[in-house]
Chains A and B, each alone.
Chain A
């Protein structure tokens, strides 16, 4: 990746990392709907920040994620796209591309959520192309900032979700083991 000077992008490298709490937010996901990150507590959330609607089609990140939705659903994960575009722009884009997931408008104050997550590009007024996988308790499990012109694909997200579900299974196993130990101790 090309190194940027601080003036060009003061946020470079400051994206929130794994193991930190994902800051809650409320954003419009359409002309009449707002969603908060905390609405999805108990399930993994994929936050996909992207610079703008209407990028070229065949290599388009959102078009790819649209196709991968069944894989995300296997992990009961909710995908939320985030950019600084307004609700009407998002609505037209979703309809045109048949997108079956929410696009959130980080529009007013512009880029506020992106700033909180450390993925706002000040000189350009758009967000980085950044991915966050957040676990059911609201903690960041994985994050990745892609070079802005590169569609990062979905393999990193799926690996993170897989690893999360592995941890959950391990936790349930531990709990079951503890419970069965308690039971046998009390017998």
Chain B
């Protein structure tokens, strides 16, 4: 066992499937998977960049978001992730995702219910799901899949199943994705 799992380019351990939240066509040449935490300021910054990249790439990009809450340093990260899942159960995951990143300082349960109201969700169901941690398992599964894929902090990105360790500023990220797209076309 002298090999080290971390020196090779880390691979996504859990393939993208219907369990995931996905934007973009299934046959897009590039898939970008992000592991993120709603209370992490770097993830907040990366969120805006991903949006820009999505605008530029359109249907040639499939974007997937998975939760990686660092709950001991970000006390609201877990409940925020569960809130996104609860909105997802009412088919409004991405709207909630955007609201959470736009309000990173306001992720306590009272504000989360306010966001649910803003999205005209069934707030009784939403609040009950948060209280009962109905979506905890899904969040934990995301987290564990990240750990097994070598995620060591947030945000972490995977392009076509391989970890992207470069800069996630707009230019470098877009280039890496476009290169990923070229690779996929070449296969």
Q: Is A39 located at the chain interface by the 8 A CB criterion? A: no
- CB neighbors of B among A29-74 (8 A): 57-61, 63-64, 66-68, 71
* A66: nearest chain-B partner, CB-CB: B72
Q: Is the CB of B6 within 8 A of A152?
A: yes
CA distance A155 to B146 in the complex (A): 9
Listed stretches A6-14, A77-85, A157-165, A170-178; interface member = A157-165
Listed stretches A103-111, A113-121, A141-149, A179-187; interface member = A141-149
Q: Choose from B1, B4, B149, B151 the contact partner of A163 (Cβ within 8 Å).
A: B1
Residues of B within 8 Å of A, CB-based: how many? 26
Q: Is B167 located at the chain interface by the 8 A CB criterion? A: no
* A59: nearest chain-B partner, CB-CB: B153
Q: Is the CB of A58 within 8 A of B70?
A: yes
**How many residue pairs bridge A and B at CB < 8 Å?**
76
Q: Is A92 located at the chain interface by the 8 A CB criterion? A: no
Are A64 and B152 also in contact (CB < 8 A) when A71-B147, A144-B4 are?
A: yes
Cβ–Cβ < 8 Å partners of B41 in chain A: 58
* A153: nearest chain-B partner, CB-CB: B152
Q: Choose from B5, B42, B149, B153 the contact partner of A64 (Cβ within 8 Å).
A: B153
- CB neighbors of A among B122-138 (8 A): none
The listed residue with most B CB atoms (<10 A of its CB), out of A57, A58, A144, A160, is A58
Are A59 and B147 also in contact (CB < 8 A) when A99-B72, A155-B10, A156-B4 are?
A: no
* Residues in A lying within 8 Å of B, measured CB to CB: 17-18, 57-61, 63-64, 66-68, 71, 97-100, 141-144, 146, 150-156, 158-160, 163
6 contacts between A and B (CB under 8 A): A67-B69, A67-B143, A100-B72, A144-B6, A155-B148, A155-B149
A sample of 19 more A-B contacts (CB under 8 A), given A59-B152, A98-B73, is A18-B2, A57-B73, A59-B154, A61-B152, A63-B70, A64-B152, A71-B144, A99-B72, A100-B72, A141-B1, A143-B2, A151-B152, A153-B147, A154-B152, A155-B13, A155-B148, A155-B150, A158-B147, A159-B5
